[in-house]
């Protein structure tokens, strides 16, 4: 019997690049009759064992490469790409999957997919919710070698659902640890007439044992790296405190670090702090649309906000349908994680990361990371806020002491006003500042202290109106952190000096007993 060897280049488009599948073309003499036929099949081990030895050497080398990849892991996607390349040296692996199963939630995630035939990404799903061939391997904990015919029969029988299209041949093997199956490896071929051998299944099963060990180690390294990132953020807060940074600078610093951690998953990152006394939510840090922007204080009256205030639990939304259930729109987010900051068991604030481009952008590991981070940050931010409050208290005492010193030195009234005004400007760092005193007899407002763009100016007495008139009438403090010009319209306020409204400002009543005097 004559034998002829040839090599076929498989034209898949997976990330491992073009690979060669060795086939044998054998002239086989048919015993019954005189005709001969050609049988094309994947290479089987030669009887001499020579190919076995060569493949064993390749396997041994692959095991070393797998261990090295786990030790040198920088990020999980790079690790999966290396696994793809290593398996591709042992068998045809143009199409290659790595899937993981989260035991607590039974969620299956496709961590790495090299398959040009799939029209869309494979989203995470419940293990027994419309399972495909991979989910079948995860459920049974057993390997599956399915030809096109077997695949069609399994789909027809309703045992699995087809995602994408039928392949010529398919192998899936479980990844196992001491606690059971936690993932699967899949290779498949769309090359016409190509078939995997039983030996390929055995090789992939053997390699999968080592990949499972390496994967566990790589994930542990990744978890340690995440923990280091968490500590870096907490340390940043502590360093900010040590450097006596203002609280907003600390928010900005922490926000940027979280944004860097989630740069691949999130287009929006924010902190929100809830004040139950006013039922208002403030956003000291909000990054979206490629920049840090401000959001007005608002009442948390949408379902997701009320739900989190009541439950004090993390809210994890994976799809647009879930987003809409919480009263949001797909323009706001397509997937998101909202983790609470708790203080004394009550909701103090929320850390949110949102993806506006795709569903299933986050995983359970992202949730755990943010929850751990929020727990650490909650204490550190509380310390920072306490430090800020202490600074403010010290500043208040300094002003009171200044007034008392002025009285003790028998300073005149204007000198005391100047002393207080200068001290307040020093603490607040405001370019524009004024002290208004109301005279009920003349019904005029006097301005004993006024500063515009850093310089003292003199303003004539006038009838109080606009924002100042509102504060005098109601005794209400008004704060404008954004849209000053627009918000001033509701008070019919006009400029006393200058051409433009400030970017932000506040008005505080001066009281004597129950009377507002300025």
- Closest of 52, 48, 49, 46 to residue 24, by C-alpha: 46
What average pLDDT score do residues 364-387 get?
74
Backbone angle region of 474, left / alpha / beta, with phi > 0 → left and psi within -120 to 50 → alpha: alpha
H helix runs in 164-245, sequence order: 198-242
Taking 50 as the threshold, does the pLDDT of residue 43 lie above it? no
256 contacts: CB under 8 Å, gap ≥ 6:
none
Tell me the three state secondary structure of residue 497: coil
Residue 385 is predicted with a pLDDT of 63
Taking 80 as the threshold, does the pLDDT of residue 506 lie above it? yes
Joined together, the tokens standing for residue 26 give 């054998």
Max mean pLDDT among 105-114, 365-374, 441-450, 493-502 falls in 441-450
What average pLDDT score do residues 328-334 get?
87
What average pLDDT score do residues 238-267 get?
77
From 175-179, 380-384, 512-516, the region with the lowest mean pLDDT: 380-384
- The CA distance from 77 to 219, in Å, is 11
In tens, the pLDDT along 50-68 reads: 457 888 888 888 888 888 8
- Closest of 209, 189, 256 to residue 229, by C-alpha: 256
Four-residue CA torsion sign, 51, 57, 62, 65: negative
- The CA distance from 472 to 460, in Å, is 18
Backbone angle region of 218, left / alpha / beta, with phi > 0 → left and psi within -120 to 50 → alpha: alpha
- The CA distance from 292 to 81, in Å, is 34
Residue 244 is predicted with a pLDDT of 56
pLDDT cut 90: percent of the chain above it: 19
Taking 60 as the threshold, does the pLDDT of residue 22 lie above it? no
From 234-243, 359-368, 499-508, the region with the lowest mean pLDDT: 234-243
Query: Which class for 505: exposed (0-12), middle (13-18), buried (19 or more C-beta within 10 A)?
Result: middle
Taking 70 as the threshold, does the pLDDT of residue 264 lie above it? yes
Query: Which class for 208: exposed (0-12), middle (13-18), buried (19 or more C-beta within 10 A)?
Result: buried
Identify any residues that bridge with 449 across adjacent strands, giving them in sequence order. Answer: 435
Residue 5 is predicted with a pLDDT of 33
Identify any residues that bridge with 114 across adjacent strands, giving them in sequence order. Answer: 96
Q: 0.85 cut: is pTM over it?
A: no
Taking 70 as the threshold, does the pLDDT of residue 110 lie above it? yes
What average pLDDT score do residues 500-509 get?
84
CATH domain 47-221 topology: Beta-Lactamase (3.30.450)
Mean predicted lDDT score pLDDT of the chain? 79
Taking 50 as the threshold, does the pLDDT of residue 28 lie above it? no
Q: What angle do CA 31, 36, 39 make, to 5 degrees?
A: 100
Taking 80 as the threshold, does the pLDDT of residue 184 lie above it? yes
- Closest of 270, 300, 273 to residue 286, by C-alpha: 270
Taking 90 as the threshold, does the pLDDT of residue 371 lie above it? no
- The CA distance from 11 to 30, in Å, is 33
In tens, the pLDDT along 471-488 reads: 989 888 888 876 788 888
Taking 70 as the threshold, does the pLDDT of residue 243 lie above it? no
Question: Which pLDDT band holds residue 46 (cuts at 50, 70, 90)?
Answer: very low
Taking 90 as the threshold, does the pLDDT of residue 409 lie above it? no
Taking 60 as the threshold, does the pLDDT of residue 10 lie above it? no
- The CA distance from 462 to 1, in Å, is 115
Tell me the three state secondary structure of residue 391: helix
Interhelix angle 50-71/198-242, rounded to 10 degrees, is 10
What average pLDDT score do residues 251-259 get?
84
Query: Which class for 175: exposed (0-12), middle (13-18), buried (19 or more C-beta within 10 A)?
Result: buried
Max mean pLDDT among 71-75, 98-102, 261-265 falls in 98-102
Q: What angle do CA 273, 370, 72 make, to 5 degrees?
A: 150
In tens, the pLDDT along 190-203 reads: 988 889 999 999 99
Taking 90 as the threshold, does the pLDDT of residue 146 lie above it? yes
381 contacts: CB under 8 Å, gap ≥ 6:
237, 250, 254, 341, 349
Instruction: Enter the CATH code of domain 264-389.
Output: 3.30.450.40
- The CA distance from 479 to 60, in Å, is 70
What average pLDDT score do residues 74-98 get?
88
Residue 265 is predicted with a pLDDT of 85
- Please state the domain extents for the chain: 47-221, 264-389, 413-516
For residues 417 and 32, the model is more confident at: 417
Question: Which pLDDT band holds residue 446 (cuts at 50, 70, 90)?
Answer: very high
């Amino acid at each position: 019997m004559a034998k002829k060897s040839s090599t076929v280049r498989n034209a898949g488009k997976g990330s491992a690049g073009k690979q060669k599948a060795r086939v044998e073309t054998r002239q086989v003499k048919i015993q019954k009759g005189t005709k001969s036929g050609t049988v094309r099949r994947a290479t089987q081990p030669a009887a001499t064992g020579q190919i076995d030895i060569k493949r064993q050497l390749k396997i041994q080398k692959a095991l070393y490469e797998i261990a090295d990849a786990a030790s040198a892991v920088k990020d999980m996607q790079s690790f999966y790409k290396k696994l793809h390349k290593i398996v591709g040296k042992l068998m045809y692996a143009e199409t290659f999957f790595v899937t993981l199963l989260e035991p607590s939630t039974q969620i299956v995630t496709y961590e790495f997919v090299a398959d040009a035939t799939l029209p869309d990404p494979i989203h995470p799903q419940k293990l027994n919710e419309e399972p495909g061939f991979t989910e079948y391997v995860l459920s049974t904990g057993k390997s599956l070698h399915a030809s096109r015919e077997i695949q069609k029969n399994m789909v027809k029988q309703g045992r699995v659902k087809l995602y994408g299209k039928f392949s010529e041949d398919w192998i899936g093997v479980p990844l196992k640890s001491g606690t059971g199956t936690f993932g699967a490896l899949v290779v498949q071929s769309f090359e016409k007439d190509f078939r995997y051998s039983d030996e390929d299944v055995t090789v992939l099963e053997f390699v999968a044992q080592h990949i499972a060990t390496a994967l566990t180690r790589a994930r542990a390294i990744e978890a340690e790296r995440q923990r280091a990132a968490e500590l870096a953020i907490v340390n940043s807060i502590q360093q900010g405190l040590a450097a006596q940074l203002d609280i907003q600078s600390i928010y900005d610093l922490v926000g940027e670090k979280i944004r860097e951690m989630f740069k691949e998953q999130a287009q929006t990152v924010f902190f929100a702090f809830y004040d139950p006394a006013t039922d208002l939510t403030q956003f000291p840090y909000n990054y979206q649309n490629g920049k840090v922007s401000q959001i007005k204080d608002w009442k948390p009256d949408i379902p997701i906000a009320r739900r989190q205030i009541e439950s004090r639990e993390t809210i994890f939304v994976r799809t647009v349908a879930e987003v809409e259930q919480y009263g949001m729109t797909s323009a706001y987010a397509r997937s998101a994680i909202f983790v609470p900051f708790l203080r004394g068991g009550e909701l103090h604030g929320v850390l949110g990361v949102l993806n506006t481009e795709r569903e299933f952008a986050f995983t359970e590991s992202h949730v755990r990371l943010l929850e751990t981070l929020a727990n650490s940050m909650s204490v550190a931010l509380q310390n920072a806020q306490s430090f800020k409050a202490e600074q403010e208290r010290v500043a208040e005492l300094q002003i009171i002491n200044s007034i008392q010193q002025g009285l003790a030195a028998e300073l005149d009234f204007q000198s005391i006003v100047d002393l207080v005004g200068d001290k307040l400007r020093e603490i607040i760092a405001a370019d524009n500042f004024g002290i208004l005193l109301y005279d009920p007899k003349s019904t005029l407002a006097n301005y004993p202290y006024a500063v515009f763009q850093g310089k003292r100016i003199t303003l004539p007495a006038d009838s109080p109106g606009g924002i100042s008139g509102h504060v005098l009438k109601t005794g209400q403090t008004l704060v404008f952190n954004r849209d000053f010009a627009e918000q001033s319209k509701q008070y019919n306020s006009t400029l006393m000096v200058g051409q433009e409204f400030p970017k932000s400002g506040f008005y505080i009543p001066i009281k004597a007993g129950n009377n507002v005097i300025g």
